[in-house]
Amino acid sequence: MTSIRTVRWWQRLGAERERVAEDAAPTDQGGLYVVGWFETGARSGDGQGGFLTRVDTAGTVDWEFVWRDGRRPKGVTVTPAGPVVAGTTIGSDMDTDGDPPAWLASFATDGDRRWEQGYPNGDGDTFETVVATPDGVVAGGRTGRYSERTPRSWERVYGTKDWLLAAAVDDGTERWRESYYGNDCKSLLADGMDRLRYVGGERVVWVASDGTEERSQYYYAETGSSDTLDSIAPGQRDGVSVIAGKAWEGSATNQARILVIDSDGESLLDRATGLPDRSNFGKDAVALDDGYLLSGTTLFEGCALSWLVRFDEGGDSQDCCFVVRQSGATADPELTRARNSESGLPARPDGQPIAGHHAAVDTLVPTQDGIFVVYNEHDQSQSPEHRRTWIGYLT
């Protein structure tokens, strides 16, 4: 992929008041599995549910499985038997003590649920991510709670940790579980090697196939005191990891970040980017055959703007575009080419972002000849017209 120029198609998912896609993974036939949650009621929190959707190479929905019991799918991976979904439960009408457990569910490729199982562990458990391994799946998340310190400030309670759980793909039988020091296992990688790797906070953690932590390493940005690493994906070579996050100063100007490390944890590439004089988030990053692609979001006053930047293997920016959608119930998202500001950095397109309109390309899934993008809207006006999820295919 030498540029980001052509949109093959956009497909809106669902018709609820609000739908948010949390993760996606490729099918064995060139399509996409997508998981997330929705709300169907007139007010926030009403009619909650979760979904697993399969779309084909043209964006047509093949099938969709729906949960109506507060399930929130957070991650999806693909095994020889079909997709496996990991998630948590918001609220519960279950007749059990304590919080509902984090859970896994396995599906056949035709959408039939093979099994679903909860894994009680502690207080406030979640699964945020899941990956396939040679002998099953491994899910990761956190165990423990946030407590509210002030109306808009949250802090951890003592004892909160990351945790991983390995399960058999045939029936969900637990194989091992381990807890680790940390705050939020957000994204997990297993690319055919014996070791797992996950990101959380400012560090990468390497884990053996039996769950033993081998080592961890912090990756502080050159500029930034509130850094986070938020997603991890495989590189073109074995053991290479492509990581997206943010390099924040805690000021009005903060940058998104892409980090590439080798199998020994040595940094191959570390770049901070974003629109000038704004706060920028790195959302996801993937390897291409000739470099890397980073998706990000820039905050404005009461709105946000999503963008894509392609880097070559040396870390030089080669191409940049914005992903925007005009007002209107029938408008599709579109790519808008970036123009340069006086500083040489991309400037926002005319008329964007729309007041109150928040959106982000949260997930990137590369294929042989293009890339799937997951575009979520989070309009602050609560207007259903701008609270939608779209899947796009770019070449």
Q: Where are the domains of the chain?
A: 1-17+226-395
Q: 193 falls in which pLDDT band (50, 70, 90)?
A: low
Q: Which one is predicted more confidently, 228 or 381? A: 228
Q: Render the burial of 138-154: b for 16+ CB within 10 Å, e for the rest.
A: bbbbbbbeeeeeeeeee
What DSSP character marks residue 133? E
Does the bond joining 366 to the residue before it have cis omega, within 30 degrees of 0? no
If you average pLDDT over each of 18-32, 114-128, 373-387, which comes out highest?
A: 18-32
* CA distances from residue 251 to 22, 52, 278, 301 in whole angstroms, order as listed: 28, 38, 9, 14
pLDDT in tens, 343-376: 445 677 888 888 888 899 999 999 988 999 999 9
211 close to 178: Cβ distance less than 8 angstroms = yes
CA dist list (Å): 289 to 3, 27, 250, 271, 335: 12, 20, 35, 19, 21
Q: Please report the sign of the dihedral spanned by the C-alpha atoms of residue 43, residue 44, residue 50, residue 54.
A: positive
Q: In this predicted structure, what is the pLDDT of residue 328?
A: 76
109: Cβ–Cβ under 8 A, 6 or more apart, which residues?
27, 28, 54, 82, 83
More confident residue, 302 or 83: 83
- DSSP class of 21: E
Q: What is the gyration radius of the CA atoms in the chain, in angstroms?
A: 20
Under the banding of pLDDT at 50, 70 and 90, the label for residue 143 is confident
> Which residues 6+ apart lie within 8 Å of 354 measured at CB?
303, 326, 327, 386
Which residues are CB-neighbours of 369 under 8 A, at least 6 positions away? Answer: 395
pLDDT score recorded for residue 241: 97
Q: Residue 340: pLDDT above 70?
A: no
233 is written with which tokens? 């994906």
Q: Read off the pLDDT band of 341 (50, 70, 90).
A: low
pLDDT of residue 2: 54
* pLDDT above 70 (res 147): no
Task: List, for residues 214-248, the tens digit of each pLDDT value.
Answer: 999 999 987 656 789 999 999 999 899 999 999 88
Which amino acid is present at 94? M
pLDDT value, residue 93: 42
Q: Decide if pLDDT at 148 tops 80.
A: no
Per the CB < 8 A criterion, the answer to whether 213 and 180 are in contact is yes
Kindly list the distances between the CA atom of residue 166 and the CA atoms of 133, 135, 136, 211, 332, in Å, as whole numbers in the listed order: 9, 9, 7, 8, 40
pLDDT of residue 298: 94
Mean pLDDT, residues 79-99: 76
Q: Are strands 126-133 and 317-324 parallel, antiparallel or unpaired?
A: unpaired
Instruction: Say if residue 145's pLDDT is above 80.
Output: no
Q: Which percentage of the chain shows pLDDT scores above 70?
A: 85
Binned at pLDDT 50, 70 and 90, residue 390 comes out as very high
Enter the pTM of the model: 0.92
Average pLDDT for 158-165: 81
pLDDT score at 388: 85
Over 60: is that where the pLDDT of 54 sits? yes
Considering only residues 354 and 386, tell me which one the structure prediction assigns the higher pLDDT. 354
pLDDT at 156: 46
Mean pLDDT (the chain) is 87
With a CB cutoff of 8 Å and minimum separation 6, the contacts of 63 are 53, 54, 110, 111
Contacts 24+ apart (CB under 8 A), 236-239: 236/287, 236/289, 237/262, 238/191, 238/192, 238/193, 238/263, 239/191, 239/193, 239/263, 239/264
Does 319 score more than 90 pLDDT? no
Residue 177 tokens, joined: 């579980």
pLDDT class of 208 with cuts at 50, 70, 90: very high
Confidence of residue 317 (pLDDT cuts 50, 70, 90): confident
pLDDT, one tens digit per residue, over 92-140 is 444 445 557 899 999 999 999 999 999 988 777 899 999 999 989 999 9
- Arithmetic mean of pLDDT, 73-99: 81
Give the pLDDT band (50/70/90) at residue 339.
low
User: pLDDT tens-digit profile of 273-291?
Assistant: 999 889 999 999 999 999 9
